[in-house]
Structure 1
Amino acid sequence: MECFIDLENLSGQPSFAPPGHSGTLNHHLAHQGNGARHLAVWHGCIEPGGEAHEHLHPETDQAFYVLAGECLFRLGRDDHRLGPGNFVFVPQGVDHRILSTGTESLRLLVIMAPMPQETAPTE
């Protein structure tokens, strides 16, 4: 069970490109394969100009912490410019969209609870 992960070296971590996103690659950090049962944590990377198209999660709360890069984050009907050190909480059922606007890739910690089953790694 791998519980300590170096965010600068994610090559061994299971990854996925989520549907409804462009230019995005997520790596699983906390997942069923390493013992998580109720919480999912990913490292998300969205290349400049890439985006998570507007969507919502009807049964899952989601939070984002910006590690690097810049984005335009739409929460409901409001747009917010975010950069490193910013945190946003998205309650279940609230529309949101992320557009990577910087010159470097947007890097995020993505936290979801309860764990969405459709994104569990198939290890």
Structure 2
Amino acid sequence: MEIKVLDPFKDGKTLWLGLDNPGMVRKVFQMVTPETVGSKHLMAGLTIFEPGEASSVHNHPESEELNIVIRGSGEVISGDEKRAFKQNDYMFIPEGVYHQHVNTGTEPLWLLWAYTPQGSLPKN
């Protein structure tokens, strides 16, 4: 067994999503993937949203998702439903449910995400 201790800012695979969509820009640090640590079942990482930024509306068709709010606040939207969240809150998103994360606060939103089984990130 090889246990890994990871720093998202040094060890993660860093990418930007939403650069072509104003209001949907966020920086993603992929931490737990087959490529980064050899994971077989889990995907996890950290996404940072600046105030006013949001993810695209997306889903993970065959994966359950867990989000933990490390810093900041916002809303998670699914269809007509909006639920506010704040630092230290957890969100569970069942497989296949379309959702969007929005930073409605005044500081960066740091959202830890994990889903299993592995799937792909939103395209934008």
Give the match for residue 16 of structure 1.
Answer: 15
CA distance in 2: counterparts of 1:76 and 1:52, whole angstroms: 14
Unmatched runs of 5 consecutive residues or more in structure 2: none
Matched ranges for 1:24-103 at <5 A: 24-32=26-34, 33-103=36-106
Please state whether the residue corresponding to 2:95 is helix, strand or coil. Answer: coil
Higher strand share: 1
SS at match of 1:50: coil
Which residue type is aligned with residue 4 of structure 1? V
Post-superposition Cα deviations, 1:68-113, rounded to whole Å, max 9, x if no partner, equal: 0111111343211111110011111111111111111100110011
Counterpart of 2:4 in structure 1 is: 3
Report the residue type matching 1:75 in the other structure. S
Asked whether the 8 Å contact 1:59–1:92 carries over to 2, the reply is yes
Q: Secondary structure at the match of 1:53?
A: coil
Question: 1:83 and 1:73 mapped to 2: Cα distance?
Answer: 11
Q: CA deviation at 1:2?
A: 7.5
Contact 1:72-1:100 within 8 A present in 2 as well: yes
Q: TM-score, normalised by structure 1?
A: 0.82
Deviation per CA, 1:21-76, whole angstroms, max 9, x where unpaired? 82211111111121211101111111111101222221111110000011111134
In structure 2, distance between residues paired with 1:105 and 1:2: 30
Letter in 2 for 1:6: D
CA RMSD in angstroms comes to: 2.1
- TM-score, structure 2 normalization: 0.82
Inter-partner Cα distance in structure 2 for 1:5 and 1:82: 26
